[in-house]
Structure 1
């Protein structure tokens, strides 16, 4: 399972998620019993098996949004059950994904090296959708839309005041890949140029002809906070887990700093992206 892939099972270690799904299940059960409907009959009305109804009511299964809409209609809940979809959608993403978004929202410095795709914080919704839809085996359309929404929601970091300092290093090859078609690709390049031009953003491109490359172990993200704390994660170090130990942080900071030194300077990077746009 990828880090952003949603699940219909409740993570037992996610206390907030467990509480949300338990509350939703309890509300469904109370509403069902209040109208005198058996679980089997209710299941037939919403298109679910009796066993799955009991799992949802018992807080063991995360309900789909269409289930909550249908349940709201069948049980005459007046919008109460449908209104729970927003919190339920958040639970479907692993706790570490929600924690990452929360940390990004609090960080005063964010540094990202992305090797295979355009960094998620820079993606347009259309580009994000094309990238997610390319996965195999494919996600359902419902899953795709939720994953796109989660990715775009993280981009609120660009609207913060005071603004955090952000730096990005992107590989040239993914920037040249017309993912989603020419129009989606052009809009993505324009978005990268737009964000790269912000005063609090430093954007660099790692050219494909670079003979020495310290980013071959994969993606890196560094987060620093105003109280002096820092957290970092790399696909190719420490089993991909987030670290805050000073020795481990120094390793990832050194790696990220070296990558930045090897990449094109910011102005040359933006000029290269403008050149890509001109070639389309």
Structure 2
């Protein structure tokens, strides 16, 4: 008999339902987003909504094998603080929040946990905390990814702006597909889309691949976005997001198939010789 949960969202279930679902759902997804400016025509919750929407689509596709934790709606957005309304956490705070959520899931029996971030600014903190947790939770398979990087090959094929990455045609297309209410199409404005649009520091950083020279977005672009969101279409968004879901489902299927990790053995005792 196939087990069919009422929903895959932990926050919408009662604890007895979760207790019943847990043996059938080996994977827990933790969506991680941001509350930050997205140019003149896109809502501040865009990154959170994209992560949550992808997690929901994956869970529905793989039901009942995947549950989804509540999305973490604020991330590392210091580089967007030049625009009103952006909220940010420090790297230390974000890592502690992710660690506490993952540890809570571990304490309730989940041993395959996937952190999905919709905001690239979270990447360094997530990579660090996942690496640390893997060492601490030695019986748990932990992994993470972004949304757009999973389809970087498609981005190269379909992006038109030489300079892009935040509220550009790629991200705006995804937003149009997962939640049209995120986008005010009449307000979309071309941002810094070529190297010539950037100031000298921005041009230096963007013209030398492999070098990290981050700049605040109010310096990079007066509108807060890069690329040209006016080129966005929901059809492109569907292609990108549906492929992201396909690839994450493939990865998580492989994760479920892995042998369980074993708890670390207790440290060896050293016998002290007595004379």
TM-score normalised by length of structure 1: 0.22
User: Given the two structures, how large is their TM-score scaled by the length of structure 2?
Assistant: 0.23
Q: Which has the higher contact order (CA 8 A, sep 6+)?
A: 2
Structure with the greater alpha carbon radius of gyration = 1
